[in-house]
Amino acid sequence: MRSRLLTAPRSTAHPVKSCTTYRSTTSLFNCVRYASTYSASMPIESKNDSIQPAPVAPPKPQTVPTDSLRPNPHNPRVLFDEEPLKTLEASIRKVGILVPLTVYRATGSAKYTILDGQRRWICAQRIGLKDVPINAVTEPSLAQNIVTMFQIHKLRKDWELMPTALKLGVLIDELEESRESALADLTGLDVAVVTRCKKLLSFEPEYQDRMLDPEPARRLTADLFIEMYPIVTDRSVRNAAWYSRKKIVDAFIHKYTGKKSGFKSVTDFRKIKSYLTIARKADRETEIVKKLHNLIENDEIMISDLEIEAARIHREAETLAKQLSKLGQDISSIDPDSFSAEEDLWVEIENFLILVRNKLAEAERRSVL
């Protein structure tokens, strides 16, 4: 899964195996945090750490020309919606930039690269500020660069998930690490977010691009594809003779955006997955796959048409069987001596016994009672 946004060369050392990248990134993040909050001192590494982080230069507060900066090509945040920018711009017009931008000078570059503060820099350009305050830190490695920005922003407003997923893909390739728990520890993301990102990375670039549309009104949400994922990867669907991943994805996008076939929200995909699962348990796999094919082909077919009556009955029977089993356990646990005076209880048990006998007779089942 090589990310299409990965442009920097790979490190010759394996960062995860040596732990050096992780520790160096943590140190770099502390340095950036220092720069952003005007801390008096840098955090000190534990004496118990056997592997020391790479040296990191302390921040250097200064003011530089606005046009001497450039955006970070590896910033997971690539979508900047207009309304929040306007709010920030209005604030900067009133009080200026209060928190310096954190930057580094890349090898061979005449300009500083922004680690933290791209939105402030965009607003400074719009307003026409000639200079901006910065704190310069040591140039990070590719992995340090991405992880540092993840950690800087994890307590701020969430990014759109697709840009986050793309940069997570870079880390997966760069660090040769795909374990969700390890990636969560490294980036500060929740494991659930990492899982969602990996699902998005499974979709083709054309769909990823539609989640990256700069115009919010045209942008497809990551939730649409995450909710769709269990269906396009369902084993019964994938084994169907008519299966075409692209055709299914395109059809679902069409139906969701056009409100066809009864689609009202992204959670409607869960209904489809539920119908698939229930039908498979009832040995109606062929029938449900055929119904799904009809839904994909025909906008007049509704999501509710996927339900198979026999499968529905099977599901209800399973639920009732579990409830009756639990009831049987409760009745079995009754101590007749302790409950002998509880007349209402014994009347209800007798009524239940009569009901059971009648139902067995209706079903032409030989009563064992």
Burial degree of 346 (CB within 10 A; 0-12, 13-18, 19+): middle
- Residue 22 carries which DSSP code? H
Are 302 and 262 contacting, i.e. CB atoms less than 8 angstroms apart?
A: yes
Q: Does 185 share its domain with 58? A: yes
pLDDT at 242: 96
| Final residue before a domain boundary, out of 154, 177, 205 | 205
Distance in angstroms between the alpha carbons of the first and the last residue of the chain? 62
Token pair for residue 102? 């954190």
Let me know if residue 324 belongs to a domain: no
Q: Does 281 share its domain with 358? A: no
Token pair for residue 78? 């690539």
Let me know if residue 137 belongs to a domain: yes
Q: Residue 80: give the domain boundaries.
A: 15-205
Q: Does 188 share its domain with 228? A: no
Q: For residues 369 and 354, give the distance between their C-alpha atoms in angstroms, rounded to a whole number.
A: 10
Q: Does 280 share its domain with 304? A: yes
Q: Does 281 share its domain with 248? A: yes
Q: Choose among 164, 169, 288, 274: nearest CA to 236.
A: 288
Q: For residues 116 and 133, give the distance between their C-alpha atoms in angstroms, rounded to a whole number.
A: 12
Total structural domains within the chain: 3
Are 274 and 282 contacting, i.e. CB atoms less than 8 angstroms apart?
A: no
Let me know if residue 153 belongs to a domain: yes
Let me know if residue 238 belongs to a domain: yes
Q: For residues 266 and 231, give the distance between their C-alpha atoms in angstroms, rounded to a whole number.
A: 12
Q: Does 272 share its domain with 343? A: no
Residue with tokens 């594809």: 225
Q: For residues 145 and 28, give the distance between their C-alpha atoms in angstroms, rounded to a whole number.
A: 9
Q: Does 230 share its domain with 356? A: no
State whether residue 117 is helix, strand or coil: coil
Amino acid 196 reads R
Q: Does 200 share its domain with 250? A: no
Q: For residues 209 and 220, give the distance between their C-alpha atoms in angstroms, rounded to a whole number.
A: 9
| Final residue before a domain boundary, out of 170, 205, 240 | 205
Q: Does 96 share its domain with 197? A: yes
DSSP 278-299: HHHHTT-HHHHHHHHHHHHH-T
| Final residue before a domain boundary, out of 174, 205, 236 | 205
Parts of the chain with a pLDDT under 70? 1-61, 76-79, 81, 152-159, 310-311, 366-369
Let me know if residue 212 belongs to a domain: no
Question: Phi and psi of 339, rounded to 5°?
Answer: -105, 15
Is the pTM higher than 0.75? The answer reads no
Q: Does 226 share its domain with 201? A: no
pLDDT at 137: 85
Let me know if residue 213 belongs to a domain: no
Q: For residues 263 and 174, give the distance between their C-alpha atoms in angstroms, rounded to a whole number.
A: 39
Q: For residues 153 and 80, give the distance between their C-alpha atoms in angstroms, rounded to a whole number.
A: 14
Amino acid 302 reads M
Q: For residues 237 and 210, give the distance between their C-alpha atoms in angstroms, rounded to a whole number.
A: 24
Residue with tokens 């945090």: 33
State whether residue 135 is helix, strand or coil: strand
Let me know if residue 8 belongs to a domain: no
Q: Choose among 8, 25, 14: nearest CA to 185.
A: 25
Burial degree of 131 (CB within 10 A; 0-12, 13-18, 19+): middle
Let me know if residue 43 belongs to a domain: yes
Q: Does 196 share its domain with 230? A: no
Q: What is the CATH number of the domain that holds 99?
A: 3.90.1530.10
Q: Does 21 share its domain with 80? A: yes
pLDDT at 23: 43
Are 219 and 210 contacting, i.e. CB atoms less than 8 angstroms apart?
A: yes
